[in-house]
Every structure is written in structure tokens, then in C-alpha cells.
Structure 1
Amino acid sequence: MPNWVGATAKQIARGVRRGDTSATQVVADHLEHIAAREPLFGAFRIVRGGEAATEAEKVDEQHDLTRLPLAGVPVAVKENTAIAGLPTWHGSAAARGPIEEEDHEVVRRLRGAGAIVVATSRMPELGVFALTDDSDGPTRNPWDLTRTPGGSSGGAAAAVAAGLVPMAHGNDGFGSLRIPAACCGLVALKPGRGVVPPPAGATAFFGMGEHGVLTTTVADAAIGFSVLAGRDSAKLVEPSGLRIAISTRSPVPGVRADAPNRDAVAVASRLLVAAGHTAVACDPAYPASIGTRGFATWLADATQKADEAGLPLSALQRRNRTHARLGKIAMRRGYVREDDREGFRRRSIAFFADNGFDVLVTPALAATPPAAEGWVERSWSANALACMRFAPFAAPWNLAALPALVVPVGVRPDGLPLAVQLVGPPGSETTLLAVAGQFEMAAPWQRHAPSVFPAVR
């Protein structure tokens, strides 16, 4: 009997639908793997062992599995998203909410597609920083246990990179899907506005937050996107003749992508040209105010989340107390305005339309992921500077509410994954997935961390 750990979501669902295996067996295999390996990574807050096994049995009892695109697929759900019967943690015991009575709509859709929620994945408190840790310790990158998996969906990324689950839910307010995907060698799509049911309450990020999934393949990313968007799964059509903008310019003044990340963009450009596309060097329209306004919005998000969770600032971690206090100042002085975000959205859409671009390619990160240790105890300035220096490229596309995707492209000299970001105009989610699929066909990547699956691609 084969062990299903390391299989893709597509392979598992096909096996369950065909009767080659059962959801019960698949979940048992993954729970055994979780028990043996998860303590190395600190990816999960809660493991739903017995509940997941019971839910797997219910999937197996269904008479018609053909309509379930995720039949028997174990998934993790980020701990800031409601799961019936569990508290919503938001990254810390202080921020933990009451027991939820209902699933969030995206959880309901995952379960309706046949997925089994085996765990909740860890995140930093209130999702503020791209460094996943708390007083219980850090979440570790399976590619290098001394490094962070990024954040705020860091537990989700670590879980998928370690094969604990083949697919994990996350959400992205300022890069919280794409940053950990880049850190851990995964695929993640942040949909554009209005495509997937949005986060609620303290996860909404001024309306910029979007739900998505992290996966090891483009096919799994496409299935996950279809499920969350409430669409029928469609086969991606290989695109040709696209006009692609190539840019390594950082939206944060004074921050520049390092040589490996610039090289990743050059590799991506060559792959695109080989696939029949036109690649043109062209920087997007980052206005001078984007850094200041974006930074103010990031600060104010912590204030908003603390207020909505009913948390006094004194209850927050030290780094987040400072972040939220500065957010109050930013909001009081009028630095956080929807008009600014809408203006940048219009300029960004015009960048594609006026130049005839179908896709923009940028680095996914600017530097190697920081060390995993001790960020929860460090100062606010240390946390903020670390995040801005290693991950400046994601946030603008939340401000613009445009779809953006991260896809692996090679490995750094230090052995950690490299990735690029693909951005498109409204409605281009399937185009981005299809282009990412061309990357995967031309230059397949190691699907899991080598320390967990040394010879598995």
C-alpha cells in the first residue's frame, strides 16, 4: 500500500475518486507524518487528529466523489480564519477569539470540495510581520531550520514545504501568501479584488486582504483557486505571444534586490522568451508617495486589528504595541486614505493597458529570508527593517488590488529557494497560473524541502 505523503493534491483527489485509496488512509498517512516531523518546524497551532479522521470517513461514505475536486486532500487553515468548533487565534493567546460557531466561507468551500482540515497553521501575532514566531518559539523553514519561512502565512508555507499537507490555506494583506511561498519554494496566488470571498474583521487589512492557497505545483494552485473562487476547475491553456514587463526596481527607496534575486528575474525572462513571449524592461509606476502611504497603512492595520479584537495595546507583543501606536498616529494625521489606494490602483491598471503588457515580472524577495530566532523579543525597528529589507516587492499589489503570483525559479547559493513574482491586470488570475505552468514545464523545481524529501521533485 503506497504512502500518500508527498503526493500532490491532484494525485490524492484522483486516487480517492478512483478508489485507489481512501480519504481515511490519506489522512492517516499525513497525521503519522505530522506526528513525526511537525515538531521540527512548529508549523501548526492545533492538530485535529480525531476530528480529521472522522471527517475523512464521512468523505469516504459519499456515493458520488466525482464532483469533489479535493476529495480526501488534507489541508491546513491559517489560524486567523474561522473554523467551526475552534477558537480563532490570530497568532497569539492574547488575540485568541471565542470558539467559532461557523466556518468562514472559504473553509466551507474547501470542505465542500472534499478537503479535510487536519490542522490550523501558525502566524505571527495579528499577521503584522513577515516573521512567524511567538512566545512558544519560531516557525522554521524546512529548507533551512535556522531561517524563517516568512509570514504571515509562515506556518502554512512550512507545512506544505515539509509535506505535512499538500495544500494549505492562507491569506495575503501585504504579501502574506507570496512572501512565505517565496521563502519555502512554493506556488501562491493572491487573487484580485472581488474574486474570492474576502477575509472578515481583523483579517481584512483595509479591504486589501485576500484568501488563497500554498501548493507545490501550479496544477494544485489552479484547483485551489477554482475552489475558493467557486468556479469549475478548468484546464489551463498554454499562453503564447504575451507582452511581459520585466522590472527589478524596488518600491522601497534604498532597498535593492540582491544578485541571486536579480538573477532569478533574468532566468525568468529567458524562460518567457523561449516560450514565445516578448520581454521588455519596464518599471511599474511606483509614485513617490507609495512607500510612505504603504508604510502608514501597514502601521494602521495593527491598530485596526487590535481594536476589532478588543485588545488593549498593553496585551500585545512589544513589537506590535509600537506598531499599533504608530498606526494610531498615522490614522489621526490622515496618512491612511482609500483615495490614495484607488489612485494607485488606477495608475497600476494603466501601466498594463497603456503599454500593452499582459504580465509584470519582479523579484519575489530582495534577500535571503532572515534567521528564525528571537524576533518576538526584538525591537519594533528591528522587525520592521528586516521585513522591508528582505520582502519589499509584494505590498504594492495589495494596495492596487491586482492579482499577483509567486513561482519558484531555481535555488540561491545558500541553498534556499529563489522565486519571482508575476503580476497582472484585473481578471488575469488564470493567465498568471498558465504562465507559471510554463515555468514549471521548462524548469521543474524541487517540490519539497530536500531535508524532508531528498530525491523527490
Structure 2
Amino acid sequence: MDASGGLPVGAGGGTVVGLPATELAARVRSGELSAVDVVRAHLAHLDEVEPRIGAFRVVRRAAALAEAAAVDAAPDRGSLPLAGVPIAVKDNVPVAGETCTEGSPACPSAPAAEDHPVVARARAAGAVVVGITRMPELGLYASTDVQGAVCRNPWDTARSPAGSSGGSAAAVASGSVPLALGNDGMGSLRLPAAACGLVTLKPGRGVVPTLAGDWFGMVENGALATTVADLALAHAVLAGLAPEPPADPGRPLRIAVSTRALVPGVPTDGPAKAAVDAVAGLLAAAGHTVVRRPLVVPPGAAAGALARWMAGADEAADALAVDRQALQPRSRTHARIGRLVRRAGLVRPATAERFRERMTAFFEDVDLLLTPITTGPPLPARPWHERSFAANIAANARWAPWAPPWNLAGLPALVLPAGTRPEGHPLAVQLAGPPGAETRLLWIAGELERRQPWRRYAPVFDPTEPAVAAPG
């Protein structure tokens, strides 16, 4: 291991596994590393850790190495922002030639004819797709498990990496890839990031191309990363923007803080509150103004988000031509309730627009809002699909009430690590902002990362250690 913190890749190859995506791309652009060597090294690490975490549904060994060779031979390699960077893609984002199962055997099995726009943009930037990651059925739940497979959190394999982008988060936190693509309809990027000690950004509405079935405007595509610089680069690529560091706002920010419970009877636990308070202290020490202001989500808005979550299952089942009888029992119930919700006209655009206006007004005299993201440690890693619909809904609602408001409002929200819980699980906080605040969120996250760096990988699976230890 050298000072840059990676594992050997072979004679003349330097060290690669564990390096940030920004550094990997720079070395491939310069010719110091070949994309083939980078991908081969990550595949070797993946082979070592994957049996213990179950992050991938498909590993594209031959295809990935062929794609890497094409990057090495590309005449514009020297200008590719993600040159040779291995990435993983969630199982509901089409990758040409691969089956997109949405985490369910009930979905049609034909391979995708073309890449989704975010995959096409990542590949055009030089990224190499090494695999397709697991997700819960139709992306509906905050844990990641399918029939015969339970995805596990690299920080504690007895815990879930959350969902629905849990496979993508586990792949990054284990060092299998430096970046992974996922999406967020009720926290499905932010909850896995919180559970796995990663940083992520749910973009605001219309910033990044979304999915065909977007839960009536709530789902956004994004990336999971170990550093803010990697996240900023990935976001720029997915949004079709110039890959530049987030611009300094040029002034101290005014940041609101709220830890008030959003759901009656579901308080935020002590460690989560302490993490918010600690980050608020860091922001104040950096010269920003911190004010306490409770976030209030009206019952009508909460009901509107819940209606879209229910109806999203029915929408997806229709759009994907799903065999409903082949769905898991919890998902069948979810979709059946969703159909009733749609028929009753409970998915009302005006509800989301009123809430968006309310939240936009919240930011008239503050730049950002700092909150918790979860109310406790990650859910246990277990076959949640074997449990009832009610058990799944209750577990999700208790653990993750802070995520859905920003999906309903269509406003950007970022999650970043903020320490560890007493039992060793990652702690995280959430920052949200008004329309167009993605750059501001990335900038403040970078400032927090500089002031309080976080461990980039789960300890047992950390590829920057001399060897990968067996779980205790």
C-alpha cells in the first residue's frame, strides 16, 4: 500500500482500488494507468468481498474489460471526465444488452435495447459499467432483499444497506466500485448513503433525466460516492454540466436547523440529534449563521407523499407489464392499494405544487436546512420480503421520516457522513435547499468534509488496508 491508499494492480500498474474516482480518471487520462488495469483490479476486489455482501445481481466481467479497452483506445481519452472509472448501476436503470428486472422476477426479461440517458452520459464520460446492483422489488422499500438473497451492509453484515439503492451503496462502501448510480423516490439514495457512510445528492426536479415510472414526479436519478469531489463530478456528468468544482458562494450562508419529529410518536434518537448539533457547530465555526427553525410538514402533504408511494407501485406494474401474481405478497398488496388510490383520484398534482411553494418559501431568508436523515441504526438484514406489507411499511416509516418531503417538493437534498453511532454504525445528516441549490449543497458538503473528514470505506472491507479481513 502506498500513501495514496490503494491496492496493487500489477507490474507497472501502481495502486488503484480505493482511490477516488477523480484520481483514477486523472491517472487514466494521463496514461499513468490503463482503464483495463483499473477495471481488472476492481473486479478482483469485488470477487473477494461480494460473497459476504451480495451487492450485485450481475457482474459484467468480459463486457467491462472490453469497455475499458475501448476507453484506452479512445482518441479523446485525455478529455474524458470519468476515464476508466468503474461504476455500478441499479437494477432499474436500463443498461444496453442487460436485463432490467426492477428487483423482481415478475418483470419481463428482455434485455434493454439502449442505455438510459444517465448511463449513456456516464459511458460517454469514460465510465465502465462493471455490474448491475440489487434492489428491493420495484424499489418500494428501505431494505434490499430478494428471493434467495439478502444484501448486507459492509459496516455490519447483520444490518441492511437500506434501500432501494442498497446494492449500489454496498458496492461503493465495500470498495468494489468508487461510484454507483441509483435513484431516490422516498429516500432511496439518501437512506443507503446514511446506512453505509457515503455521500449522495438527490437532485431537484428536472435537473437529471429521471425514470419512465417516476412515482408521479418523486423519483430522481443520482450517484453514491465516498468523497464530495467524486459526487460533484458524477452529478455534473449525469446532469450534462461541465465537470467543475462547486463554486464558492462568496459569502457566509444562513442555515436553518431542525430536529423536531416529523411523524407523531417517531422521535429522532439521541445520536442522530447529536450529529446534527455537531454539524451545526462546525458550520458556525466556519463563519456561517445557524438558526433554529422547525420543519413542519402539513398532514395533507404527508398524505400526498404516501399516496404517490402507494400509487407508484401500481404505476410501475402497468408501465413494466408486470405479472402481478408473481409479485411478492407485500408488493401485491402495495400495488393493489396503489390502484385504489389512483382510482380515487388521490394523486393530486396540486398537493405537490402547494408543498413545493411552501418549502420554497421556507428558504426565502435561509440558504439551506440541516436535519437528521434517519431515526436510528439501519434495519436488520433479513428477508423483509417474507414479512407482511404492514410490517414493511411500519419499519420504513419509523426509520426514515426525514427523506420523503423533499421528493414531494421536488427540491434538492444531500446526505453526508457525520460520525458513527455508539455501536459503530455510520451516522449521517441531511442538507436540503431551494430550487437550483445543488451546487450550494455540494459546496457546503465539501467544506464540512475538509473540516471533519470521514472514513471512506467500511472497516472490514476497506480496500486501502493491506488485506481484507474476515468479518468478526
User: What's the TM-score, normalizing by structure 1?
Assistant: 0.97
Quote the Cα distance in structure 2 between the aligned partners of 1:455 and 1:16. Answer: 19
| Counterpart Cα distance in 2 of 1:370 and 1:199 | 27
- 1-structure distance, mates of 2:263, 2:311: 18
428, 443, 449: which is aligned to 2:452? 443
Write out per-residue CA displacement over residues 403-438 of structure 1, whole angstroms, 9 at most, x where no aligned residue: 000010000111010010010000010100000011
Structure 1 segment 407-446 matched on structure 2, within 5 A: 407-446=416-455
Residue 455 of structure 1, CA deviation: 6.6
Instruction: Quote the Cα distance in structure 1 between the aligned partners of 2:464 and 2:180.
Output: 23
Contact 2:18-2:463 at 8 Å conserved across structures: no
Q: Distance in 2 between matches of 1:96 and 1:175?
A: 26
1:376 positional shift? 1.1
Q: CA deviation at 1:332?
A: 2.4
Counterparts of 1:34-433 in structure 2, within 5 Å, are 34-200=46-212, 202=213, 204-239=214-249, 240-353=251-364, 356-433=365-442
Distance 1:7 1:343, change over 3 A: same
SS of the equivalent of 2:378 reads coil
Q: For residue 26 of structure 1, what is the aligned residue in structure 2?
A: 38
Return the letter of the residue paired with 2:126.
Answer: G
Deviation of the 1:446 alpha carbon: 0.4
- In the TM superposition, residue 113 of structure 1 has moved relative to its aligned partner by 0.3
Range with greater deviation from structure 2 (328-337 or 318-327): 328-337
Gaps of 5+ in 2: 1-12, 466-472
Local SS of the residue matching 1:170: strand
2:106–2:323: 8 Å Cα contact kept in structure 1? no
Equivalent-residue separation in structure 1 for 2:190 and 2:52 (angstroms): 23
- In structure 2, give the amino acid aligned to 1:181: A
| Number of residues of Structure 1 aligned to a counterpart in Structure 2 | 452
Distance 1:221 1:248 in 2: 26
Q: How much does 1:284 deviate?
A: 2.5
- C-alpha distance in 1, partners of 2:14/2:160? 32
Give 1:144's aligned amino acid: D
- Counterpart-to-counterpart distance in 1, 2:66 and 2:242: 27
CA contact (8 A) 2:108 2:322 kept: no
SS at match of 1:54: helix
Give me the identity figure in percent: 52
4+ residue segments displaced more than 6 Å: none
What residue identity is the alignment partner of 1:405?
L
Cα distance change of structure 1 residues 15 and 379 upon mapping to structure 2, 3 Å threshold: same
Show CA shifts across 1:229-251 (max 9, x none).
11111122344411101001233
Where 2:444 maps in the other structure, the secondary structure is helix
Contact preservation (8 Å) 2:18, 2:175? yes
The residue aligned with 2:4 is: none
Q: Give SS of 1:151's match.
A: coil
Report the residue type matching 1:235 in the other structure. Answer: P
Alpha-carbon distance, 1:334 to partner:
2.5
Q: Please give the root-mean-square deviation of Cα atoms over the aligned residues, in Å.
A: 1.3
Please say if residues 200 and 416 of structure 2, whose CA atoms lie closer than 8 Å, have aligned partners that are also in contact: yes
Shift of 1:330: 1.9
Tell me, yes or no, if structure 1 residue 15 matches structure 2 residue 27. Answer: yes
Say if 1:157 and 1:168, in contact at 8 Å, map to a contact too: yes
Please give the secondary structure, in 2, of the residue aligned with 1:66: helix
Q: Which runs of 5+ in 1 are unaligned?
A: none
Distance (whole Å) between structure 1 residues aligned to residue 290 and residue 355 of structure 2: 24
